Amino acid sequence: MPSTLLQSELPGLELIHRGKVRDVYALADDKLLIVASDRLSAFDVVLPDPVPGKGEMLTRMSNFWFAQTASLMPNHLLDQAPESVLPAGVDPSLYVNRSVISKRLTPVPFEAIARGYLIGSGWKDYQASGSLCGIALPNGLAQAGQLPEPIFTPSTKAAVGGHDQNVAFDVVANQVGFELADQVRQATLAIYRFAAEYAAARGILIADTKLEFGTDAEGKLYVMDEMLTPDSSRFWPADQYRVGISPPSYDKQFVRDYLETLDWNKQSPGPSIPPDVIAGTAAKYAEALYRLTGIQLD
């Protein structure tokens, strides 16, 4: 059984952010220690029940993709072992495989989303308007249908407990400048296309993915946070995919589909998740990790 960490506790280190999943600590020399917990969130709400081993799986998968895409876009990772900064008395086995040391960057204040298929909030927006984030789409597309080409659909970054909102590219460009916004758009689509082709060869369709970017003091752009994980992407088994339904998935859609059966207003506090849904979620994450990277948890 993988170790479980609901919330990190690192005495002596400055906690600067506790997100839906990750706890971020400040280090010297403009570095960060980022710890991926086993917290589970859905509909932008942190749920009360952790998924054992989830943080380790997210970290291992992100690190794999960061390495695979380094030629497309530099990333925030630094080559320093997390155990080198853990406070005395902390059990390193809880942290080593779920933590990274990274550059401290200024985040681009939008989520960078690439979509190759019409699902989730994108499907709802298309049904309502025939477009998505200001991009007009062809008539007659179906739920889970593949788009003519991948599109960039940014969203706002909500605080914990808030809800992200899809926005047009012009909104991003007006806030951060066209040049930076276009860099983010081009990098997002390049990473998505690379990953979608890689995953398809391994029997997984990447319906969409969310990336985050930041800049250093010189204005250089980096991809950061996490990359192409079940928390930030929709992974569909290719052999079970069909148009017109929400396909089975290797990601949090499994939890979302369960939550949709409840009388819950998608506001905090979130409901407890049954053990079989927790176990099923962990199994799906583990299978995606293995199929995409060849990595199995100990």
Predicted confidence (pLDDT) per residue in 39-79, tens digit: 998 888 999 999 999 999 999 999 999 999 999 999 999 99
Average pLDDT over residues 259-275: 92
Predicted confidence (pLDDT) per residue in 153-166, tens digit: 999 986 655 567 89
Gyration radius of the chain's alpha carbons: 19
d(CA 226, CA 240): 27
The answer to whether the CB of 160 falls within 8 A of the CB of 269 is no
Predicted confidence (pLDDT) per residue in 195-213, tens digit: 999 999 999 999 999 999 9
Can you spell out the DSSP letters for 248-260?
A: --SSTHHHHHHHT
What pLDDT shows up at residue 193?
98
Residue 66 CB: number of other CB atoms within 10 A? 21
d(CA 286, CA 1): 12
Alpha carbon 210 to chain centroid, angstroms: 6
d(CA 244, CA 293): 29
Average pLDDT over residues 240-269: 89
Check pLDDT > 80 for residue 272.
yes
Write down all domains in the chain, each with its CATH number in brackets.
14-103 (3.30.200.20), 106-264 (3.30.470.20)
Name the amino acid, one letter, at 124.
Answer: K
Specify the range with the lowest mean pLDDT, choosing from 76-85, 97-106, 243-252.
243-252
Whether the link from the prior residue into 269 is cis, omega within 30° of 0, is yes
d(CA 105, CA 249): 32
What pLDDT shows up at residue 157?
82
- 44 closest CA partner among 162, 134, 167: 162
- The residues near 124 (Cβ < 8 Å, ≥ 6 apart) are none
Residue 252: pLDDT band with limits 50, 70, 90: confident
